[in-house]
Every structure is written in C-alpha cells, then in structure tokens.
Chains A and B, each alone.
Chain A
Amino acid sequence: MARIKFTVDGRAVTVNADPGMPLLYALRDDLKMTNPHFGCGLAQCGACTVHLEGEAIRSCVMPLSAASGKAVTTLKGLGTPDKPHPLQAAYVAEQVPQCGYCINGWIMTAAAVLKKNPKASDAELRDALAGLKCRCGTHVSILRAIKRAQTQMA
C-alpha cells in the first residue's frame, strides 16, 4: 500500500492503495469518478481512457504509481454541459450515442489526437483511432462528429 497523490480534473487527490493497481480502479472505486469505464482490462477497447498530462492512456493497465504527482483528466474534466469540449458538443449535435459505453474512449482519444493534429484527414483519423471498440456500430457518426468538431475548432 502507498499513498499516491495526483490531480484529477484539477482537484488534488490522495489514494491509499496498491501502487500496482490500475489507475482505473483508483478513479472508479476509491475516488468514485466513474467516467472511465471498464471494458476489457487489456488496453484493447479504450473505454477506460483518461488523459495523463494530456496524453490519452488506457487506465485499465496503467499502474496507479504512474499517476503520482501528475495531472489526470477524465471526460468530466474535458467538458461539461455548460462548457462542452467541441467533441462533446459535436457528439450531441450528431446524436452519436447508442448504448454509450464506448463514448468515453472515443472522445478522450480523439481529443488527444486533435490536439496534436487538428486537421487530421479521414484516413489519419481512422489510423489514430484504430483499436477503439464500438459495439453498436456508431463508427460512421463518430467520424461525422469528429469532423464537425474539427470545423468548430478551426
């Protein structure tokens, strides 16, 4: 057990836990910040994605110790209904949801992608988002939403 300090969505937190525990469980179980979902525990689907110092990471395999002293951002830190991230606004405008369990992974990953490459082409987006899963088949509307967000952000 170790006391690990970091920030989540700008708030300072301390978690007393096994430093090898995946960050996802610290967020969901210890901090009750349930935005990232458990999808696979294997970094194969993206449902658990958060930003660590601005980089999209899979919190289901990232040890808690890796967050020590760093800034973690979850979907709620990315934007809110009052101050949405352009990707969230675009998701709403394009009405992307079906079950919604994958949304966290796509938005958090796409936000990091667009930060680095705001004008990413369709092919670049498909490459950068490869590996993320969606079981309801919203892929086409996800791409529509990201392209809408790109226009908003330009």
Chain B
Amino acid sequence: MNAPLSRREFLKASGALIVTAGGSALAGDAFAQRSSSVGVSVSIGTKPPLAPAELDSWVAIAPDGRVTAFFGKMDMGQSLDIAIAQVVADELDVAVDKVDVVMGDTALTCNQGGASGSTGVYLGARPLRNASAEARRLLVQAASQKLGVPAEQLRVDDGVVSAVSDPSKKTTYAELIGGRYFNHPVEWNKQTGNPMDIKVQAKVKSPSEYRVVGKSYTRRDLAGKVYRTEKYVTDISLPGMLHARVIRPTRAACTVASVDEKSIAKVKGARVVRDKDFVAVLAPREWDAVRASQMLKVDWNHAKQAPFPEMAGLHDHIRKAPVVKREEGTKRGNVDAAFKTAARTVEAEYEWPFQSHASMGPACAVADVRADGVTVWSGTQKPHFTQLGVARLLGVPPEKVHVIWVYGPGSYGRNDAGDAALDAAMLSKLAGRPVRVQGMRNDGIAWDPKGPACVHRARAALDASGKVTGYEFVSKGFSRINIQTNESDPSHSLVGMSTGLPPKPSEGFGTPAESYGFESKLLAWETIPPLLDSCSPLRTAHLRDPVGPEIHFGSEQFVDELAHAANEDPVAFRLKYVTAPRDAAVIKAAAEKAGWQPRSGARDRSGDVLQGRGIAYAQRGGTIVAAVAEIEVERKTGRIHAKKFTVAHDCGLIINPEGLRYTIEGNVVHGTSRALFEEVQFDRDRVKSVDWMSYPILDIKDAPETIDVVLVNHPEIAPTGAGEPTIRVIPAAIANAFFDATGVRMRRAPLSPDRVKAALAQA
C-alpha cells in the first residue's frame, strides 16, 4: 500500500485547488507557518488528521450540501444531539434538518470529555458554535471571490450564498466546498476533555440573531429506538466473535485459589480464560457462555477479616472514620462566635446510603484486538478515555485503539460500562478473537461503582429575633472519586485491579450550592478511607449529579428546619436569605406556578392519608432550579406517593425548550426513585443487592401524576447544563413535604415504606 501523502506534501501538490482568502488575524505558530505557504484555504481534497486545531475536525459539508458536525460528547438519552444541530445550523445559516451530528467516535471526534457533568451544551457546544461560524466566514469569503461581490454584501439562506442586492447572483456551500475540506487551522485552547474550545476569526452570532436556537425541534433518536432500526452496543456482532461472562467473586476481597476448568466440560465450545484474579468464560454461543458462568467452579481465598461494617452501623462507621481530606468550600464570618452569642441553636444530621447506577441493562462491550489495531464498541460515557484505558491495559499506543460509542443499556455516571469495555479488550487479547461481553443483572447492581454513602452535620445559630447569624454544614463520606470518573487508567477498572494494578484513589466530595447570605457561614466536606482498597463492590464514583442529591437532601431540609424554628414560611424564608437575584426568581417562579400559599393554621393530620408539600432549591454549575413536591403519605403502609412536582429551571439561554422539559422530567422521576427506594444492601463481606427485588427502584405505580415545568429563559446568559441540576433538589423537596404532611422529619434516605412506618410509629 502506498503511504498517504503527508499533509505538507499534499498541500504543495494540490495548490490548484486552493481558494486563497487572504490573510488572517489568527495567532499561533502553526497557523503562521502554514499561512506563509498556502494562505487561508477552502476546498482542499483530503481531510487533515483529527486534531482540535483543524476546522475539518469539527464540521464538514457534503456534496449535497448536508452538514456534519463532529461532536466529542454523546447523547445519553436527553436529545443533546438536536441541540448541537440547532447551534450549528444557526451559525452556518443552514436548515437544522440538514445538520447531522456524529458523536463519540474516537476516529471522528475530538476528546470533548464525553458525557460529563451536564456540560453537553454548556461546554460541548462552544467549539462547534465557533467552528460553524468560522466555516460560514470562509464560505462567504469564497463566495465573494466567486461572485465578485464583497462579503459584507452577501447573505446566506439555508446554505445558499447570494448578493443582497441581486439574488440571482448566488452560489451554494455545496458548490463551494461540498465533499472537500477546509484545511484551515483554528486556535485550540490546548485543553482536553470538557474545557476543550477553539478560537476563530469569525464572530459568532448574538442571541438576537438566532432563528433555530430557542425553538423546539423533535429529537432524532425516535425511530431508531421505537422501531429498533438503530443498533445498541448489545447488538454488535462480528465474524468469529465469542461471547463472554466475567466471573466476579461471590464475596468481596477474595482472590482466586483455583479454577476447575473441567466443571464446564459439558458446555460445547466453552473455555476459561484467566489472568491472576480475572476469570471469565468464553463460548461461541451466548447461552453457552451464560451456562458456563453458572457452572464454573472457582475456589476463592476469602479475606481473613470481613471488609465491611454491619450495614446498620454504616453511618456510625462514617462518623467515627478518620478524615482523609477536608476542604472548606465557603468560609465567611465567625461561625463559632455566632454560636457563643446565639439566642437559640438548631442542629441536625442527615444520612444517605450507598446507591447503585443499576442501569437498565448490565453493561456490554465488544472488542476486537488484532496485531494491527484494536476496535472497541462501547456504551461508555467517555469513549476517548476508554481509548486511553484500553491502550494502557493492553500496552499499545492510543492511536492504535479505536473506540466506537454506540447506544448502551444506561449511563448516569461511572457505571459498569467502563469496566465492560476494558473487560472486553482484555478478553479479546487473551482469546485472540473478537469478544462480546455483557454482565448479568448482578454485575450491574452489585458490582458497579457506587454513589457514596455519607453523613451531613448541620447547625445554625439564631438571634432573639429568629435571624440566622451562624450556619455550618459539613458533609462526611466516602470519596466520590475513589474510582475515577472515566476508565482512562486501568487501575480504576475491575480488570485492572484484579490483574494486580494498584488502585489510586482520589479524594473529592462537595458542598451545598446556594446563595444564602447568612451572616457567618461554613460549608465543608470530609472524605474517609474506602472500606476496601481493591476490587470493592462498594467502591465509590460518580452517580448522576455526584453528591448533589446526597448533600441537598440534608442542606435543603435543614433550611426548612430553620424556617420552622424561625416560624416562617419555607418559601418566604428562602427568599429572605438568598442573595442571587436569579435564585430568588426561580424560587418565586416555582412557588407561584405551584400556587404556594403560606400555611395559616395547623395541618389536619387525622386521616389515614396525609398530604403535604415542600420546596427545595439549589444551584448547579450556573443553573438554578427549585422544585415544589406535593405528596401523599399512607399511614398504614408507609407509602409515599409524590403525586405532583412543579419545577422552575433557569439554565441561561434555552436551546430546545421541549428537549429541556423532558430532561427535567427524567431528573424528577430518577430523583424520586433515589429519594424513596434506593439503597444498596450489604453485609460484612458482600453486596446483597443483586437484582430489582433486592435493589428496588421506582415503579410506575409510584410515578408522579403531574410534572409542571417553568422554564426561565435568559437569552443574554450563555447556556449552562440541565442533565443533572433538577435531581439534586428532589429528595429534599419530598422530605420537606413529608414533614409538612406528618410533622415528622426524615433525616435518613431513602424514605422507604418501612422507614416511614417506623418514623410515624415513633412520632
């Protein structure tokens, strides 16, 4: 095979194709070097290598004028791709239907960080907006030359460039560059992942010029998912592919003593692969792999000492555990002094359990490891980091690893998908064949990295008038990054740890995100050591809105407790203390839409079914959200039915109102599930939550009847995220409604029927 021409050779050879568009204000060595030889150009024939500093890495125009946007994040189900298409369409002045969005393929997209922290629009859209504006600028310049009309006298309508004064003088994007490439450098900010951005010469549009952004366009995955015309990662099938099941130990902290390969002799074609404590079975047929995994006899060395505390003692364990790291997020005034002079103090503690991602299906990945390169199909949130992780695990250069993101069976954080991807790669290497691995239900609940259990200590000082003069909220719990947010380091994967890579835990938690202007205030967090260093089924990592629901379950209940102590309405109390005007506006919007009225008298609590309403509010990454929950509590059964939610949401400029509404709805229901039902069960040496019976989640019987959403639009403010902010206020809104209904505080999540019954019996 002929080696492809180098970039420079090609540029020299294809000079005839170059449409020179003159000088450029762009800075940067790379640009200066190239501009001296070829100038700013469009329509050169080959695509430059994938790099953030190349315009062609972001946007392309096909011969038929269709536009492709290359997006280094992915839509995990909230219809992010249509929002990206809208942004690109507006900057390029093409119809949104003409914009295709390619997502999460490491050969086609730059590492924009994958699905992460609700940054899809907030950070992810920025380079695509800039690239699209730059592409438009170059195309208008090229049209100017072609038509002999100054650029400022041209307009673009749906990819047609025409003279303002004479519409018959026109050309199209397709004619100008269709099927060819810009070969145009842009200034990359040298950041990889979420903050990746580019600077361009073109000026992006102002919000007042948007025609597409701000309107609801239908999401694009409907047919693929509803008629199943689209493949999921579970559907990928390769010639010669083997099916695999990884054998996780039945108890934590086990090592492999021996594997009895004869125990699966009866399963035709099945075999065992093993590397240290990493054991798996492989078979040409999937059912045979499942059967072999059930039949395989493994003798495990059990740990001398059980690694976990009794489940009932979990939160005492957290209280007593040594602090590995402490960080103070906010420190204002002298809290201790406020307590010394307080007329009254209020104190409370709140507890949150371990929770599982418990994705809809256990994770799956397909890998094909060959001498000349590795291909992995994965539903991971972070394909570019998977690429690094696979490369490091197998000892090959990252550029030899191609990760293709495909719809997967669920996400919402660092779930089991990252482990499956690295498992598949290791297994394909060991087997010398393409391998498809999927977990069983147990693998997706007992063995995914968990959301951290924690305890929150809160105290406040009030003066004689009821004013809050001192406020302290300290969270203590397992690190949210005991396992990293992505699988780029194999020592953060089960296969890495079970083949002997030492785990490298990091410390991180968080503090309440609000603007309460209490006179003195301390917000802090403390992390404690993991229960088990390596291969722990209770290792902790990011779960949707990492530590957001956990923290605000405490902090937003505590604010309610202060309102109660000050004998004030919870809405009025919050409005009295929030200092950010947008926060106040959101709280007011939720309260107004919900028809919130201050209570004039005591609640009637005589019946079997009690009713209550509660509010909670928080910020997250620039977004502000408030939710009012209206619930019913059945005294006899302990069942809480959260019947209605009213959510007010401000994430700056709204790109797609309908998509935003659905995203908020999903947050509300997921948050309700976590608040009412979800808790990982464990004993001294294993996780006992292995399926949907032992890890119950919200059932449709318990789904809300109504979710009212008020979208607060701020076109003048750059958009922030929506994938996670709402979930953080839901547990506290429900718990505050529970107090309103019953007069009883639930300071321990989840508010499961048993716990509710017990709390009401004690009251």
Contacts and interface: CB of A to CB of B under 8 A. Distances in A.
Interface stretch (A50-58, A65-73, A91-99): A91-99
A47 B361 contact: yes
Contact of A137 (B231, B673, B706): B673
B665 A34 contact: no
Contacts of B223: 81, 92
B227 A75 contact: yes
Contact of A136 (B218, B286, B670): B670
A92 B701 CA distance: 23
B227 A42 contact: no
A139 interface: yes
Given A21-B287, A139-B698, A45 B237 contact: no
Given A92-B222, A133-B360, A98 B228 contact: no
Interface string B691-705: 111000111110111
**Residue of A37, A98, A134 most packed against chain B (CB within 10 A):** A98
A132 B705 CA distance: 17
A35 B226 CA distance: 10
A136 B666 contact: yes
A137 B669 contact: yes
B708 to A, nearest CB: 11
A81 B227 contact: yes
Contact of A29 (B222, B285, B700): B285
A7 interface: no
Contacts of B699: 130-131
Nearest to A105: B360
B287 A18 contact: yes
B221 interface: yes
A102 interface: yes
B658 interface: yes
Given A127-B701, A133-B692, A143-B703, A101 B287 contact: no
Interface string B238-249: 000001000000
A127 B235 CA distance: 31
A88 interface: yes
Contacts of A32: 237
Contacts of B670: 135-137
Interface string B14-40: 000000000000000000000000000
Interface in A26-54: 28-30, 32, 34-35, 37-42, 44-45, 47
A29 B228 contact: no
A99 B76 CA distance: 6
Nearest to A104: B228
B443 to A, nearest CB: 11
B692 A140 contact: no
Interface string A115-137: 00000001001110111111111
A51 to B, nearest CB: 15
A138 interface: yes
B411 interface: yes
A101 B703 contact: no
B77 A139 contact: no
B218 A40 contact: no
A113 B472 CA distance: 53
Nearest to B658: A95
**Residue of A25, A30, A44, A134 most packed against chain B (CB within 10 A):** A134
A141 interface: yes
Interface in B230-289: 231-232, 234-235, 237, 243, 285-287
B358 interface: yes
Contacts of A127: 701
A76 interface: yes
B681 to A, nearest CB: 16
**Residue of A125, A138, A142 most packed against chain B (CB within 10 A):** A138
B225 interface: yes
B540 interface: no
B632 to A, nearest CB: 14
Given A44-B692, A107-B226, A132-B700, A101 B360 contact: yes
Given A25-B287, A37-B234, A97 B691 contact: no
Contacts of A95: 79, 218-219, 222, 658, 662
**Residue of B662, B700, B701, B703 most packed against chain A (CB within 10 A):** B700
Interface stretch (B192-200, B402-410, B525-533, B582-590): B402-410
A37 to B, nearest CB: 6
A125 B222 CA distance: 23
B2 interface: no
B413 to A, nearest CB: 12
Contact of B440 (A41, A126, A136): A41
Nearest to B219: A95
Contacts of A34: 228, 231-232, 234-235
**Residue of A38, A97, A141 most packed against chain B (CB within 10 A):** A97
A80 interface: yes
B669 A100 contact: no
B700 A81 contact: no
Given A92-B226, A99-B410, A29 B287 contact: yes
Given A42-B441, A135-B360, A100 B407 contact: yes
Chain A interface secondary structure, helix, strand, loop or mixed?
A: loop
Interface in B330-383: 358-362
A79 B223 CA distance: 11
A95 B659 CA distance: 9
Interface string B647-673: 000000000001000100111111111
**Residue of B218, B409, B412 most packed against chain A (CB within 10 A):** B409
Contact of B700 (A30, A80, A100, A126): A126
B475 interface: no
B704 A44 contact: no
A139 B232 contact: no
Contacts of A107: 226
Nearest to B236: A34
B658 A97 contact: no
Nearest to B445: A40
B724 to A, nearest CB: 12
B41 interface: no
Contact of A39 (B409, B668, B671, B700): B409
A150 to B, nearest CB: 16
B78 interface: yes
Contacts of A100: 77, 221, 224-226, 232, 407
A39 B361 CA distance: 4
Contacts of A129: 700
A114 interface: no
B6 interface: no
Contact of A103 (B225, B359, B691): B225
Contact of A98 (B231, B662, B691): B662
A98 B662 CA distance: 9
Contacts of B311: none
Contacts of A88: 226-227
A91 B222 contact: yes
B469 interface: no
A34 B407 CA distance: 14
Nearest to A145: B226
B409 A101 contact: yes
Interface string A4-36: 000000000000011001100100111010110
B108 interface: no
A123 B563 CA distance: 37
**Residue of B286, B658, B704 most packed against chain A (CB within 10 A):** B286
A125 B670 CA distance: 20
**Residue of A25, A101, A129 most packed against chain B (CB within 10 A):** A101
Given A18-B287, A98-B662, A135-B410, 8 more contacts: A17-B285, A47-B360, A97-B219, A100-B77, A130-B701, A139-B703, A140-B703, A140-B706
The 7 closest A-B pairs by CB, nearest first: A137-B669, A98-B77, A100-B225, A139-B703, A99-B77, A44-B692, A25-B287
18 contacts: A21-B287, A34-B234, A38-B438, A41-B441, A42-B441, A76-B228, A81-B227, A95-B662, A100-B77, A101-B409, A103-B226, A104-B228, A131-B699, A136-B360, A137-B672, A139-B669, A139-B698, A141-B662
